[in-house]
């Protein structure tokens, strides 16, 4: 006769008290993230929220992440702490220490993302680790271009390094950083903000532990991970078992890229395999495995278990594999500057497979790829540094975040000019015009760019930009959906293609650094999301409303929906 299974021992803290502390821990990391946003120098952090922040146990398992931030940063940062612990064992860490890297394969995918990890002490005892990431405005090299052929072209590579020892910044590290970037004040300021926000996290965690009378996070951490893992298993168990395949073709740099994903649902976990995906590129659009894992896990979790908190317990339920030297598992020293070009497409590839498993719950394809305006000028980049009028034109580097439309949802239209899956905010034009010598003459919804459907795809936007001093300037283009638009679902039609051009009519390439001549305007027409469902089923009143608002032209309303606009 088998021995009866014993119930797990009752927590001495009690489930309710543990849940209260879990919620408090989420507040701690949110304040950590907000501190980073408030103190950062670059617009990517201050205005767009292109950051991550989280707290980890002493084994490097993420216990909580801030809502503020992006999946690519959060989920890859969740793995990077393990690398720090291997290089700097926890027993050697002291109060006031901090460690830094931008290693694309051990951090968050490219050199522009700097990760700082710090030990957290309570009453003199090491109890946790805090980690955070931000996208800095410059890291040297070729700039934010995908034109590099190796990571060595792309800028300053910081291996896992001590940044601060017992409260003292390593000035040698900072001197190296300042000497290798075009915007040293902004980059150094962001590094100090990263260190400072981890310090805020440590203080708030210590306050929480004192208030609740605990001296370790062992029991709380176990509770968080086990409850989250159980929630994931429960959600996965409701799905049918089997393997379903998704596929997407995208523009690529010089040739189309095919992304293949086989999603297999097991009893207690999900695997995603990218076998069959195109090989790595000779240009900087490759994705390291850490970034591929990050956006794959995010895409799966959005559909399967969107309400379960994101931590080690949930991430460990999604296993990702890809053959080496494919574009989703590029190895060192591949160029990876524009790894988001590939990574941001991966949720849509997984959705293509998941739609076959749970029809009626997965949106149509969206723009997915961010249409950020990464602009710059300077000697040797856009000329000699003088304007066409004979005056001096100051060098600058700026990233201004903007987006096309998302795919329509099964019961709702897509969101216009909204980033998914990255989640970063659009940067106000006033901010860009304040910190860089450019003028944004136009920023408006792009009529007819949303894919027709019973639910319409989200609209892209149109922007026109010019150098304020009449000088040439450059754009580091990393755009997708120019040749292959976002596909509709269940009879919905594709969204509008993107386009990059000059106001004079000359078409520009969707990828690579290009110069906008003095006196010319850059025109950026962003793609729209795909539609969902047969356009004939769309409510005629909704079509007429779209026409009145200028989202859909009268001609498109008639052609796509058979509706005469008001």
Mean pLDDT (whole number) for 107-112: 94
CATH classification for the domain delimited by 15-227, as one of 3.30.450, 3.30.70, 3.20.20, 3.90.105: 3.30.450
Cis omega before residue 421 (within 30°)? yes
Question: Are the CB atoms for 297 and 270 separated by under 8 Å?
Answer: no
The per-residue pLDDT for range 216-271, each reduced to its tens digit, is: 999 999 999 999 999 999 999 999 999 999 999 999 999 999 999 999 999 999 99
pLDDT of residue 383: 74
Question: Are the CB atoms for 434 and 390 separated by under 8 Å?
Answer: no
Confidence of residue 391 (pLDDT cuts 50, 70, 90): very low
- Residue 294, pLDDT above cutoff 80: yes
Angle at 409 between CA 462 and CA 305, to 5 degrees: 120
pLDDT of residue 384: 58
Other CB atoms within 10 Å distance of the CB of residue 417: 23
- Residue 400, pLDDT above cutoff 80: yes
DSSP per-residue string spanning 172-200: HHHHHHHHH-S-HHHHHHHHHHHHHHHHH
User: Parallel, antiparallel, or unpaired for β 396-400 and 438-445?
Assistant: unpaired
- Residue 12, pLDDT above cutoff 80: no
Question: Are the CB atoms for 44 and 72 separated by under 8 Å?
Answer: no
- Residue 2, pLDDT above cutoff 60: no
Average pLDDT, the chain: 94
**Cα radius of gyration rounded to whole Å, the chain:** 24
The per-residue pLDDT for range 92-101, each reduced to its tens digit, is: 999 999 999 9
| Tokens matching residue 228 | 């989250």
DSSP per-residue string spanning 495-558: PPPPEEEETTS-B--SEEEEEEPTT-EEEEE---PPPBS-GGGS-HHHHHHHHHTTSS-HHHII
- Residue 173, pLDDT above cutoff 50: yes
DSSP 92: G
pLDDT of residue 10: 56
pLDDT of residue 168: 97
> d(Cα 266, Cα 268) in Å, to the nearest integer?
6
Question: What is the C-alpha end-to-end distance of the chain, expressed in Å?
Answer: 78
Q: Alpha carbon of 101 to those of 42, 94, 197: distances in Å?
A: 18, 19, 16
Q: Alpha carbon of 373 to those of 39, 109, 445, 481: distances in Å?
A: 23, 20, 16, 16
The side-by-side arrangement of strands in the sheet containing 270-273 is 242-250, 257-265, 270-273, 318-321
Backbone CA torsion sign across 41, 42, 47, 51: negative
Question: Are the CB atoms for 270 and 281 separated by under 8 Å?
Answer: no
Mean pLDDT (whole number) for 396-413: 95
> d(Cα 349, Cα 340) in Å, to the nearest integer?
14
Please choose, from the candidates 439, 440, 445, the residue with its C-alpha nearest in 3D space to the C-alpha of residue 462: 445
> d(Cα 99, Cα 118) in Å, to the nearest integer?
6
pLDDT of residue 13: 67
Which segments of the chain belong to CATH 3.30.450?
A: 15-227
Confidence of residue 72 (pLDDT cuts 50, 70, 90): confident
pLDDT of residue 390: 36
Q: Within 13 Å of residue 565, how many CA atoms lie on the same side as its CB? A: 17
Question: Are the CB atoms for 375 and 436 separated by under 8 Å?
Answer: yes
Other CB atoms within 10 Å distance of the CB of residue 219: 14
> d(Cα 530, Cα 553) in Å, to the nearest integer?
17
Confidence of residue 5 (pLDDT cuts 50, 70, 90): very low
Cis omega before residue 333 (within 30°)? yes
The per-residue pLDDT for range 354-368, each reduced to its tens digit, is: 999 999 999 999 999
Q: For residue 17, with 0-12 CB atoms within 10 Å meaning exposed, 13-18 middle and 19 or more buried, which class applies?
A: middle
DSSP per-residue string spanning 206-254: HHHHHHHT-S-SHHHHHHHHHHHHHHHHHHHHTSPPEEEEEEEEE--SS
Q: What phi and psi values does residue 397 have, to the nearest 5 degrees?
A: -140, 130
Please choose, from the candidates 155, 160, 115, 151, the residue with its C-alpha nearest in 3D space to the C-alpha of residue 138: 155
The per-residue pLDDT for range 529-550, each reduced to its tens digit, is: 999 999 999 999 999 999 999 9
**Residue length of the chain:** 566
- Residue 566, pLDDT above cutoff 70: no
Confidence of residue 425 (pLDDT cuts 50, 70, 90): confident
Q: Alpha carbon of 440 to those of 20, 443, 475, 549: distances in Å?
A: 47, 7, 14, 23
């Amino acid at each position: 006769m088998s021995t009866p299974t014993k119930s797990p021992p009752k927590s001495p803290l009690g489930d309710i008290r543990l849940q209260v502390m879990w919620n408090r821990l989420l507040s701690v990391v949110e304040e950590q993230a907000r501190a980073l946003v408030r103190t950062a120098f670059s617009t990517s952090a201050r205005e767009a929220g292109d950051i991550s922040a989280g707290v980890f146990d002493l084994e490097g398992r993420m216990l909580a992440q801030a809502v503020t931030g992006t999946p690519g940063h959060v989920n890859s940062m969740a793995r990077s702490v393990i690398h720090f612990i291997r290089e700097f064992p926890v027993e050697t860490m002291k109060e006031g220490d901090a460690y830094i890297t931008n290693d694309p394969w051990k951090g968050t995918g490219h050199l522009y993302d700097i990760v700082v990890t710090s030990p957290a002490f309570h009453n003199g005892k090491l109890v946790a680790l805090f980690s955070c990431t931000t996208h800095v405005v410059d890291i040297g090299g070729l700039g934010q271009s995908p034109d590099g052929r190796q990571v060595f072209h792309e800028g300053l590579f910081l291996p896992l390094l001590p940044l601060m020892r017992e409260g003292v910044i390593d000035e040698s590290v900072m001197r190296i950083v300042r000497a290798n970037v075009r915007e040293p004040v902004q980059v150094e300021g962001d590094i100090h903000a990263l260190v400072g926000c981890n310090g805020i996290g440590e203080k708030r965690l210590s306050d929480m532990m004192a208030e609740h009378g605990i001296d370790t996070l062992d029991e709380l951490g176990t509770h968080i991970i086990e409850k989250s893992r159980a929630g994931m298993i429960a959600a996965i168990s409701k799905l049918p078992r089997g393997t379903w395949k998704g596929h997407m073709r995208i523009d690529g740099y010089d040739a189309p890229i095919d992304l293949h994903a086989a999603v297999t649902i097991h009893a207690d976990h999900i695997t995603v395999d990218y076998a069959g995906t195109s090989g790595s590129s000779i240009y900087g659009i490759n994705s390291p495995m850490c970034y591929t894992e990050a956006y794959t896990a995010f895409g799966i979790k959005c559909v399967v278990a969107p309400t379960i908190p994101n931590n080690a317990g949930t991430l460990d339920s999604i296993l990702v594999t890809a053959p080496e030297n494919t574009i989703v598992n590029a190895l060192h020293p591949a160029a990876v500057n524009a790894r988001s070009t590939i990574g941001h497409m991966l949720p849509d590839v997984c959705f293509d497979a998941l739609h076959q498993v749970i029809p009626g719950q997965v949106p149509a394809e969206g723009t997915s790829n961010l249409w950020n305006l990464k602009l710059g000028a300077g000697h040797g980049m856009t000329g000699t540094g003088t304007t066409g009028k004979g005056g001096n034109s100051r060098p600058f580097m700026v990233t201004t975040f903007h987006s096309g439309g998302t795919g329509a949802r099964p019961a709702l239209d897509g969101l216009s000019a909204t980033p998914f899956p990255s989640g970063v905010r659009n940067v106000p034009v006033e901010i860009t015009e304040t910190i860089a010598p450019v003028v944004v003459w136009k920023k408006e919804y792009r009529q007819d760019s949303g894919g027709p459907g019973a639910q319409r795809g989200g609209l892209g936007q149109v922007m026109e930009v010019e150098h304020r001093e009449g000088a040439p300037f450059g754009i580091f283009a990393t755009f997708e959906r120019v040749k292959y638009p976002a596909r509709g679902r269940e009879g919905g039609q594709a969204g509008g293609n993107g386009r990059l051009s000059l106001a004079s009519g000359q078409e520009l390439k969707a990828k690579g650094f290009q110069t906008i001549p003095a006196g010319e305007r850059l025109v950026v027409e962003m793609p729209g999301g795909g539609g969902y469902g047969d356009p004939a089923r769309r409510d005629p009143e909704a079509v007429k409303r779209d026409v009145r608002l200028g989202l859909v032209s009268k001609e498109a309303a008639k052609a796509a929906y058979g509706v005469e606009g008001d």
